[in-house]
Amino acid sequence: MSQVTLNASTSREHGSRSSRRLRAAGSIPAVVYGEGVAPFSVSVDAKEFRNAVAGDHGLNTLISLASDGATHTVMARQIQRHPVRGTVAHVDFQVIDENKGVVVEVPVHVVGDAVDVRHHDWEVDQKAFSLVLRALPAKIPTFVTVDISDLKVGGAIRVGDVPLPDGVVPAQDSTLAVVGTRAGRAAKTAGNA
């Protein structure tokens, strides 16, 4: 996974008034924290930040954050948005060690056709749209693919059943259903007749 470089300024005042001025000037107030680093406040250019997380990895993008001559490898861990406009109001950056695993949320892509389910007038019910995984930063997948071709009526595909790339493991309960089945309208009507 390639890193994106983002410049940060540490010369920002604290408080809501100065944060509003920063946002009006096209910057986003942020905080940097993590292992081996005392938390400190920064500001980043809003357009540069949007470009940094606009790639395939989204918030899981590794960012090389440059500020005051120091560079930290970070991930955007939490984004606060304006309740009406939806613009980014604040970002929490976590400093990460590229040699240690991190916990990330990765989207699920469902592929295939559950023929058995469809022929019995049942429906596929996607229960999870993302998975929580642990991986080294360089091995974080863009998405996880779940193939439903072999799904049967009344069956389910659980977190533990999902094939993951080497070095990637689930960081949540492996018995949770990702995809299940449910009786469709036609099957419910036939059962009540």
Residue with tokens 């096209």: 26
What does the pLDDT average to over 162-180? Answer: 94
**Which of 118, 182, 176, 167 shows the shortest CA–CA distance to 146?**
176
Rounded Cα distance, 92 and 143, in Å: 23
Scored b (16 or more CB within 10 A) or e, 54-70 reads eeebeebbbbebebeee
CA dihedral 110, 135, 37, 29 (to 10 degrees): -10
Q: In this predicted model, what pLDDT tens digit does every residue of 91-136 receive, in sequence order?
A: 999 999 989 999 999 999 999 999 999 898 899 999 999 999 999 9
Rounded Cα distance, 133 and 105, in Å: 6
Whole-model pTM: value is 0.79
Question: What kind of fold does domain 4-95 have according to CATH?
Answer: Ribosomal Protein L25; Chain P (2.40.240)
Of the pLDDT bands very low, low, confident and very high (cuts 50, 70, 90), residue 192 is low
Residue with tokens 């069956």: 155
Identify the CATH assignment for 102-192 out of 3.40.50.1950, 2.60.40.10, 3.40.50.720, 2.170.120.20.
Answer: 2.170.120.20
Cβ-proximal residues to 58 (8 Å cutoff; 6+ apart), any chain: none
What rounded mean pLDDT belongs to the chain? 88
**E strand or H helix at 104:** strand 102-111
Question: What is the percent of the chain with per-residue pLDDT over 70, rounded to a whole number?
Answer: 93
Q: In this predicted model, what pLDDT tens digit does every residue of 52-81 receive, in sequence order?
A: 888 788 888 899 999 888 899 999 998 888
Mean pLDDT is highest, among 6-10, 48-52, 82-86, 131-135, for: 131-135
> Residue 187 pLDDT > 80, yes or no?
no
What residues does each domain of the chain span? 4-95, 102-192
Reduced to 3 states (helix: H, G, I; strand: E, B; else coil), residue 95 is strand
Q: How many CA atoms lie within 13 A of 5 on its CB side?
A: 5
Judge contact between 62 and 3, C-beta under 8 A: yes
Rounded Cα distance, 157 and 171, in Å: 17
For residue 126, give the amino acid letter. Q
